[in-house]
Each structure stands twice: as C-alpha cells, then as structure tokens.
C-alpha cells in the first residue's frame, strides 16, 4: 500500500486530504509544518509527498528544495497543494523542484487521479 506524506497546516484541508487518500487505500503520514514534514520524509521515505505551499515558518517551496537537494529524499515525487493559481505560480512551483501541483479547493476526482498517475509514473522509473 503506497504511503503518502501530507504537509498541511490547515486542519480542515488535512482532514479532507487524509479522508480521500485513506478511502482510496493509501497510508497517510501527516505533518503540520515543513520541519516535521522534512523529518517524516527522511525517516518514513514515503512514496509521494503532498506539500502545502503556504506554511508557517519555512514554506513548502523551501522545504521541497531541501528534499530535492538531499540524496535520501530527492527521488520522492512532491506535488504542491496550493491556492495560488496566478499566472507564473506554476513555473515558480516547478522551478522549486515540485513534480506537479494540485489547486485548492480540491476536486476529489482530479486529486485522486493526479496522485494515482504520479505513483504509477514513479513505479515505472524505479
């Protein structure tokens, strides 16, 4: 069963994401900030990380850059979760090392389809 780390400071968004993923038979690891997320990524080596961009303290783009610079975590796909849907944001998110992004509010079908496609692509690479 694939393990997915969600880094999200909003309790409602965390609850919804966790519910959707667990309903689709994924195991969920949860972090409420980037520092905890980095620790869980290094220790738990999840199959996918869903990273909120607007986090207290270190933001999700900084955390992603650290994950991609670390040999132990650089191969884990990171999908940004963001309410930022302005022109130029996608380029900034991808430039930081994210493998894609999902806009908030979540559309559950798109959300699960992107998660499944990212995990399938990773399996073909490993």
Q: What is the mean pLDDT of residues 41-56?
A: 96
Identify the band that residue 83 occupies on the pLDDT scale cut at 50, 70 and 90.
confident
Q: Dig out the tokens for 25 from the structure.
A: 């038979």
pLDDT given for residue 118 in this prediction:
96
Give the strands of the sheet with 27-31, arranged side by side: 27-31, 3-7, 48-52, 78-82, 100-103
Mean pLDDT of the chain: 94
pLDDT given for residue 32 in this prediction:
98
Tell me the per-residue pLDDT of 11-35, one tens digit each, with 9 for 90 and over. Answer: 999 999 999 999 999 999 999 999 9
What's the predicted TM-score (pTM) here? 0.95
**Residue pointed to by tokens 């900030």:** 33
- CATH 3.40.50.2300 assigned to 3-119: yes
> Do 60 and 34 touch, CB atoms closer than 8 A?
yes
Q: Is the pLDDT of residue 90 over 80?
A: yes
């Amino acid at each position: 069963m694939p393990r997915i780390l969600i880094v999200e400071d909003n309790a409602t968004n965390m609850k919804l994401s966790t519910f959707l993923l667990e309903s689709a038979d994924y195991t969920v690891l949860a972090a409420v900030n980037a520092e905890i997320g980095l620790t869980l990524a290094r220790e738990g080596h999840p199959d996918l990380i869903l990273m909120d961009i607007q986090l207290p303290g270190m933001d999700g783009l900084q955390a992603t850059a650290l994950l991609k610079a670390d040999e132990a975590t650089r191969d884990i796909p990171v999908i940004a979760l963001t309410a930022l849907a302005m022109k130029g944001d996608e380029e900034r998110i991808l430039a930081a090392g994210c493998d894609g992004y999902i806009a908030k509010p979540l559309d559950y079908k798109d959300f699960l389809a992107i998660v499944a496609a990212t995990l399938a692509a990773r399996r073909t690479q490993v």
